[in-house]
Amino acid sequence: MPIEKTKAIVLKSQKLGETSKIITLYSDDFGKIKVVAKGARSLKSRFMGSLEDINYISVVFYYKENRDLHLINQADIIEPFKQIKSDLVKYALASLACEMMIRSQIEGHPNKSLFKLLLNYLYELCTVSEQSEIYFFWFQLNFLINNGFKPKIDKCLHCSKSYSLDETYYFSYARGGYVCQECDAEDITKLEISGRSLKFLSELDDLNYIKSLSEPVPSNIVRETSLVLYRLMQYHVSGLERLSSLEFLRNVWSY
Ligand SMILES: [Zn+2]
């Protein structure tokens, strides 16, 4: 039973028996893994607060090949993301990303760029002061790209004409692109989307673009972007057909 060390983000913890916990981690070297933390719920536990949700930790564990559960030996906090945990909206947005990882990723399949994306997202959420949901959109779009699905936003799927900012189009989330109203084909998955939202979506994967925004993103663009990304994720990423916490948040924000 080899002993392994890696860095990981705590996605979720569940009670196990009287005193222990099962922790779901997304790790740099092993992807999603589940570990048992014996005695983690007792007051004298050596794990202390290190296994709280959304902590970034360094972890040592006994790796059991072909097994679902591994045994954790040591966990040290690298970053507790306190600014996320003290803000309800940020906490909800971070939890959503964790839920996406839990539902969509297969255990034991490392994906270093996805690990880096999640970690960067958490660090960014800590520092952002307004419209933190825009950073969730950035995470969602890059998550889609990482999972092999990049929307085509530069031209109409039918006539290849570029969009103009003041027109309205239809976005087909099944086909991952937009069509002009004249090209409107029978496509039950279309959503109305403005040229300005298409422009926003086309830049959204770039963190520098988001950081360069000097004014709040208008609410209609936020609403359209939110819906398009949500539908793309539901349609194209296995395991994300239904995200109850996202539906709840979208209702709260009336997106
Ligand atoms: Zn067209």
Candidate from 2-11, 66-75, 181-190 with smallest mean pLDDT: 181-190
Last residue of a domain, one of 127, 157, 180: 127
151 and 210 in a single domain? The answer is yes
**pLDDT, tens digit, for every residue of 172-187?**
989 999 999 888 767 6
Place 74 in a pLDDT band, splitting at 50, 70 and 90: very high
157 and 108 in a single domain? The answer is no
Determine which helix (DSSP H) or strand (DSSP E) holds 78, and give its type and residue range.
Answer: strand 69-79
119 and 192 in a single domain? The answer is no
Residue 244, pLDDT above cutoff 90 = no
Residue 248, pLDDT above cutoff 70 = no
Q: How far is the CA of 39 from the centre of ligand 1 (A)?
A: 61
The first and second tokens of residue 255, run together, are 């997106």
Last residue of a domain, one of 127, 153, 176: 127
Number of domains in the chain: 2
Quick one: pLDDT at residue 247? 67
Q: Which domain holds residue 168?
A: 132-253
Q: How far is the CA of 163 from the centre of ligand 1 (A)?
A: 9
**pLDDT, tens digit, for every residue of 44-69?**
888 888 999 999 999 999 988 878 89
Q: How far is the CA of 206 from the centre of ligand 1 (A)?
A: 26
The values of phi and psi at residue 134, to 5°, are -60, -35
**pLDDT, tens digit, for every residue of 11-25?**
999 999 889 999 999
Q: How far is the CA of 170 from the centre of ligand 1 (A)?
A: 10
Q: How far is the CA of 160 from the centre of ligand 1 (A)?
A: 6
Q: How far is the CA of 75 from the centre of ligand 1 (A)?
A: 55
53 and 32 in a single domain? The answer is yes
4 and 122 in a single domain? The answer is yes
Q: What is the mean pLDDT of residues 62-82?
A: 92
**pLDDT, tens digit, for every residue of 123-168?**
999 999 889 999 999 999 999 999 999 999 999 999 999 999 999 9
Last residue of a domain, one of 111, 127, 143: 127
The CATH number that applies at residue 76 is 2.40.50.140
Residues 22, 38 contacting (CB under 8 angstroms): no
What is the rounded CA–CA span in Å between residue 225 and residue 145? 16
Q: How far is the CA of 151 from the centre of ligand 1 (A)?
A: 16
Give exposure, 209-233, as e/b (b: 16+ Cβ within 10 Å). Answer: ebeeeeeebeeebbebbbbbbbbbb
41 and 163 in a single domain? The answer is no
Reported pTM: 0.93
48 and 88 in a single domain? The answer is yes
Name the one residue in this structure whose structure tokens are 């000097």.
214
Place 39 in a pLDDT band, splitting at 50, 70 and 90: confident
Contacts of 188 (CB under 8 A, 6+ apart): none
Quick one: pLDDT at residue 250? 65
Q: How far is the CA of 220 from the centre of ligand 1 (A)?
A: 23
121 and 6 in a single domain? The answer is yes
What is the rounded CA–CA span in Å between residue 248 and residue 237? 20
For 173-214, where are the E strands, in sequence order?
Answer: 177-179, 190-194
7 and 101 in a single domain? The answer is yes
105 and 190 in a single domain? The answer is no
168 and 241 in a single domain? The answer is yes
The CATH number that applies at residue 233 is 1.20.1440.120
Q: How far is the CA of 173 from the centre of ligand 1 (A)?
A: 16
120 and 11 in a single domain? The answer is yes
Q: What is the mean pLDDT of residues 230-236?
A: 91
Q: How far is the CA of 26 from the centre of ligand 1 (A)?
A: 42
Place 83 in a pLDDT band, splitting at 50, 70 and 90: very high
What is the rounded CA–CA span in Å between residue 34 and residue 102? 10
The first and second tokens of residue 62, run together, are 């006994």
Quick one: pLDDT at residue 255? 53
